[in-house]
């Protein structure tokens, strides 16, 4: 089949976990005769969930790519996981898709995962259709699901279809766009087209007229013909709906049962007839603000949107051709890596199966192997030009665990394995924390890190042990004190002498200058670990030469790296150097550095030091019926509830919560909500630890060493 860019459809399947995406892909592949029997997740034989971990866990973990030929189109299908923790995989698929199918479980309606993914759909401006799936479920409720969609996304949501009956008797779909009814055999498969029953004609016509109005609204020519004739031809209807869909003014709604292969063929027909092709989408905006036209006549440009590592193969790179034609044997320049890559093999994928092709044109999606220096989000261009296609913006981590291994050999093996996994999964961040003396894995949630752990053990033979990361506490002081220290050392030859007197006090925002001191110089030091030191030079009369000021400040900063209570770093302190003495021969930078460090240390002990803990601003999005349980759980975690707001159908709970109390929150929230709530947190600042916890922390330090 001779494919042009206008014949390509790049479709991403989206939806909350359990909405039936992977099964629906099987339907599409069967209808297009790419497979001869339906696989199932339970039987571990689907095309898209092909990795050992997906078959073991029985749910999608990775984005997978398939393709089919249907009528006049080549449809590239990108199946994505539904778990919130695996959002990075979803973003990879969304980035290169030109159309999305959002699967909605007919039993549960709009779920938190639906809401989360819709935020990204809107960010990408991806045209979208909803598929109310699992209509064969005994508790399927089409009307409630449709009502929820309309409540969330407004008048853009317009159904094309509805079922005569739902539940076990689901087998007939009324299609208001084509004004026909599809009747399926009990076992599913190819339907029979029949006339719409007389009892349903009025409803179907009303829906059809609404669709005609939507088609006419965005094109003056179509609007004029609609006013003249009161209707549109089939071709005009397709054109108008394509415009409305592409502009984001129209979210069509279909019904289906992926368990019995009912409804997929009609949806594929809609994709062929109405869904936008890559050239019909807005030109790709480059990082420099210019635009890239999706045309085979332009220079070749591709974006790598996903990278995986396979045994005996190495890196496998999935890419989209944004312009030009990529042919086997081409050399492309990697803009980010400043290197040239050869494409000795080009493939199209159906899950784990790859078929070699000679070329891919603008708009198409393909796979290649053994690129040396190219990674996810890299642009490769025909010539060495500064062409950078915007990469995928992955979300920041929300959950952390520390590696507990002590063996250097084991840690080295883990580091090498993690490097490979990070190449595949940019949402995993590995931190070597010098302060905490730990290697910390930052991910999207406990499920995410559980999967990383499982892969390390099964694929790399690494027995990974994870533990709760240590908390980076801080220390400061509660009162002002004055301290003097003399450093004197004489051991033959030149000696060392320095004497420093300083005032140490808590530093507050907008704090005024000390009224009883003559401040000659002020310096605000933004400390590497956060917080500030306000350093005031108040020496009058030359008792200490100003050339020793930097050495005195250096001694203070060094001493702030280890507080007197539990050895945490100190923040938000004001030090005023008031007086001191020096010797014309024996005074030097080192002497004053040592003297100031000791003066600061002794002053800290007398200034009522206290421990500060990191507090996070937390937002939880949940259904209203479990909000009370979530608030109750937060209160047991020392959280302070700061607000409760409605957000669509959901409730948003806001709270300030200690970081130490969030260690197991991802798992706890999933248990409380049956996986139907989500959370996000960000650092608010450091605040006083309650007295009893401060005593416990100090006691633990004493016991530990």
What pLDDT digit, counting tens, does each position of 91-146 carry?
Answer: 999 999 999 999 999 999 998 888 889 989 999 999 999 999 999 999 999 999 99
What per-residue confidence (pLDDT) applies to 697?
Answer: 92
Q: What is the pLDDT of residues 402-457, one digit of tens each?
A: 998 777 778 888 888 999 899 889 999 999 998 888 999 999 988 899 999 999 98
Cβ–Cβ < 8 Å for 305, 289? no
Q: Which helix (H) or strand (E) is 204 found in, with range?
A: helix 198-217
Q: What is the pLDDT of residues 191-200, one digit of tens each?
A: 999 999 999 9
Both structure tokens of 281: 């989408």
Q: What is the pLDDT of residues 238-255, one digit of tens each?
A: 898 999 999 999 999 999
Over range 6-13, report the average pLDDT.
Answer: 98
Q: How far, in Å, CA of 23 to CA of 33, rounded?
A: 15
**Averaged confidence pLDDT in the chain:** 92
Instruction: pLDDT band for 2, please (50, 70, 90 cuts).
Output: confident
Fold of the domain built from segment(s) 611-704: Alpha-Beta Plaits (3.30.70)
pLDDT greater than 80 at residue 675: no
Q: What is the pLDDT of residues 35-61, one digit of tens each?
A: 988 888 888 889 998 888 888 888 898
CATH of domain 475-607: 3.30.230.10
Instruction: pLDDT band for 704, please (50, 70, 90 cuts).
Output: very low
Q: Which helix (H) or strand (E) is 595 found in, with range?
A: helix 589-606
Over range 298-316, report the average pLDDT.
Answer: 91
How would you class 308 by CB atoms within 10 Å of its CB: exposed for 0-12, middle for 13-18, buried for 19 or more?
Answer: buried
Phi and psi at 501, nearest 5°, equal -120, 130
Domain 284-381, architecture per CATH: Beta Barrel (2.40)
Q: What percent of the chain has pLDDT over 90?
A: 72
pLDDT greater than 60 at residue 703: no
Least confident residue range of 221-230, 263-272, 306-315, 498-507? 221-230
Q: CATH class for domain 399-467?
A: alpha beta
DSSP 662: G
What per-residue confidence (pLDDT) applies to 5?
Answer: 96
pLDDT greater than 50 at residue 549: yes
Q: CATH class for domain 7-196+249-280?
A: alpha beta
**Predicted structure pTM score:** 0.86
Cβ–Cβ < 8 Å for 664, 449? no
Instruction: With CA atoms as reference, report the closest residue to 678 among 149, 118, 113, 120.
Output: 113
What per-residue confidence (pLDDT) applies to 491?
Answer: 66
One fold for 284-381 and 399-467: no
Domain ranges of the chain: 7-196+249-280, 284-381, 399-467, 475-607, 611-704
What per-residue confidence (pLDDT) applies to 702?
Answer: 61
Looking at per-residue pLDDT, the higher value among 464 and 580 belongs to 580
pLDDT greater than 60 at residue 160: yes
Instruction: pLDDT band for 705, please (50, 70, 90 cuts).
Output: very low
Instruction: With CA atoms as reference, report the closest residue to 76 among 98, 49, 46.
Output: 98
Helical axes 234-246 vs 198-217, angle rounded to 10°: 60
Q: How far, in Å, CA of 83 to CA of 105, rounded?
A: 14
Least confident residue range of 25-29, 223-227, 383-387, 683-687? 223-227
Do the strands 339-342 and 331-334 form a parallel or antiparallel pair, or are they unpaired?
Answer: antiparallel
Instruction: pLDDT band for 330, please (50, 70, 90 cuts).
Output: very high
Instruction: pLDDT band for 493, please (50, 70, 90 cuts).
Output: low
Both structure tokens of 151: 């409540």
Q: What is the pLDDT of residues 578-612, one digit of tens each?
A: 999 999 888 999 999 999 999 999 999 999 999 99
């Amino acid at each position: 089949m001779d494919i042009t860019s206008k014949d390509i459809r790049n479709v991403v399947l989206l939806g909350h976990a359990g909405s039936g995406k992977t099964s629906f892909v099987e339907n599409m592949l069967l209808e297009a005769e790419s497979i001869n029997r339906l696989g199932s997740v339970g039987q571990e034989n689907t095309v898209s969930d092909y990795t050992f971990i997906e078959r073991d866990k029985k749910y999608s973990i990775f984005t997978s790519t398939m393709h089919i030929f249907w009528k006049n189109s080549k449809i590239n299908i990108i199946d994505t996981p539904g778990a919130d923790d695996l959002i990075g995989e979803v973003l990879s698929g969304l980035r290169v898709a030109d159309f999305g199918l959002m699967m909605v479980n007919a039993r549960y309606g709009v779920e938190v995962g639906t809401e989360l993914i819709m935020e990204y759909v809107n960010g990408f401006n991806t045209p979208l259709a909803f598929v109310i799936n699992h209509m064969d479920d005994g508790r399927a409720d089409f009307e409630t699901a449709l009502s929820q969609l309309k409540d969330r996304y407004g008048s853009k949501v317009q159904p094309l279809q509805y079922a005569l009956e739902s539940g076990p008797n689901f087998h007939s779909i009324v299609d208001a766009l084509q004004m026909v009814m599809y009747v399926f055999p009990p076992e599913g498969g190819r339907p029979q087209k029949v006339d719409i029953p007389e009892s349903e004609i009025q409803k179907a016509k009303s829906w059809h007229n609404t669709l005609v109005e939507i088609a006419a609204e965005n094109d003056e020519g179509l609007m004029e013909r609609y006013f003249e004739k009161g209707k549109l031809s089939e071709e005009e209807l397709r054109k108008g709906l394509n415009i409305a869909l592409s502009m984001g003014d129209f979210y069509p709604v279909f019904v289906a049962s992926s368990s019995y292969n009912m409804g997929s063929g009609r949806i594929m027909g809609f994709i062929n007839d109405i869904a936008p092709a890559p050239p019909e989408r807005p030109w790709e905006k480059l990082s420099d603000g210019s635009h890239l036209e999706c045309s085979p006549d332009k220079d070749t440009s591709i974006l790598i949107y996903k990278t995986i590592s396979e045994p005996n193969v190495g890196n496998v790179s999935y890419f989209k051709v944004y312009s030009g034609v990529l042919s086997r044997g081409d050399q492309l320049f990697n803009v980010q890596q400043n290197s040239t890559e050869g494409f000795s093999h080009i493939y199209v994928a159906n899950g784990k199966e790859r078929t070699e092709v000679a070329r891919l044109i603008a708009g198409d999606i393909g796979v290649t192997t053994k690129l040396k220096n190219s990674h996810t989000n890299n642009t490769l261009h025909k010539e060495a030009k500064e062409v950078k296609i915007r990469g995928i913006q992955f979300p920041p981590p929300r959950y952390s665990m520390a590696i507990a291994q002590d063996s250097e050999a084991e840690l080295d093996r883990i580091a090498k394995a993690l490097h490979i996994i990070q190449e595949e999964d940019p949402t995993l961040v590995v931190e070597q924390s010098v302060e905490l003396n730990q290697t910390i894995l930052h991910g999207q949630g406990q499920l995410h890190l559980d999967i990383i752990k499982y892969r390390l053990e099964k694929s790399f033979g690494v027995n990974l042990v994870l533990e709760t990361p240590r908390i980076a506490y801080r220390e400061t002081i509660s009162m002002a004190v004055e301290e003097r220290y003399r450093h004197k050392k004489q051991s033959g030859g030149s000696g060392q002498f320095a004497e420093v007197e300083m005032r140490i006090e808590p530093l507050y925002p907008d704090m005024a200058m000390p009224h009883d001191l003559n401040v000659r110089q002020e310096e605000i030091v933004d400390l590497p670990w956060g917080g500030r030191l306000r350093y005031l030079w108040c020496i009058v009369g030359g008792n200490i030469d100003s050339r020793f000021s930097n050495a005195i400040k250096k001694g203070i900063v060094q001493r702030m790296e280890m507080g007197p209570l539990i050895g945490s770093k100190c923040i938000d302190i004001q030090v005023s150097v008031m007086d001191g003495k020096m010797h014309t021969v024996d005074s030097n930078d080192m002497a004053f550095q040592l003297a100031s460090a000791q003066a600061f240390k002794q002053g800290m002990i007398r200034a009522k030091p206290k421990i500060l803990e990191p507090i996070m601003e937390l937002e939880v999005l949940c259904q209203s019926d479990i909000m009370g349980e979530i608030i109750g759980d937060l209160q047991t975690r020392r959280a302070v509830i700061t607000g409760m707001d409605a957000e669509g159908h959901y409730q948003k709970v806001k709270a300030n919560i200690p970081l130490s109390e969030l260690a197991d929150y991802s798992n706890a929230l999933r248990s409380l909500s049956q996986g139907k709530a989500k959370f996000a947190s960000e650092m608010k600042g450091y605040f006083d630890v309650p007295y009893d916890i401060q005593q416990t922390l100090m006691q633990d330090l004493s016991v530990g060493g």
